[in-house]
Amino acid sequence: MFQNLDIFRLSHAMAVHAGTRQSVIAQNMANADTPGYAARDLPAFQTLIETDSAGFGLKTTRDTHLDAGRSPLALQVSDRRDAATDPNGNSVSLETEMLHAVDVKRQHDRAIAIYKHALGVLRAATGRR
């Protein structure tokens, strides 16, 4: 019953996005010395919500409705276009990746905070403080 509340779905999607992005950033750091490796990243979570690829738009009740078969959070990893390349063709900058990792940590903390506050409101509404 409570797993269908949009606030919990949103915080879950934010946490999944942050975890996936952290994985991509870790792969970038691991390949910092690999010749020809292009730095990769995910689109911002806000972009996913605005384009509704996170599944927060139309609701369906059966698998045959509209696009109910798609995954709830479609994350597309793509090469980073703004990254400068080294002479060996590698476009990973460890300093930039560390800044992205801090941003991901903030995003994950925000998702957990939203979840905790929504859970507190739900508990207060049901009288279970």
**pLDDT tens digits, residue range 10-45?**
899 999 999 999 999 999 999 988 998 989 999 888
> Residue 69: its pLDDT value, please?
46
Nearest to 100 by CA among 43, 34, 16: 43
Q: pTM for the whole thing?
A: 0.75
Separation CA 2–CA 9 (nearest Å):
10
Whole-number pLDDT of residue 70: 46
Domain parsing of the chain, residue ranges = 2-126
Say if residues 72 and 13 touch (Cβ distance below 8 Å).
yes
Output the pLDDT for position 114: 94
Q: What is the pLDDT of residues 51-89, one digit of tens each?
A: 765 555 555 566 665 544 444 566 778 777 777 777 788
Count how many residues are written for the chain: 129
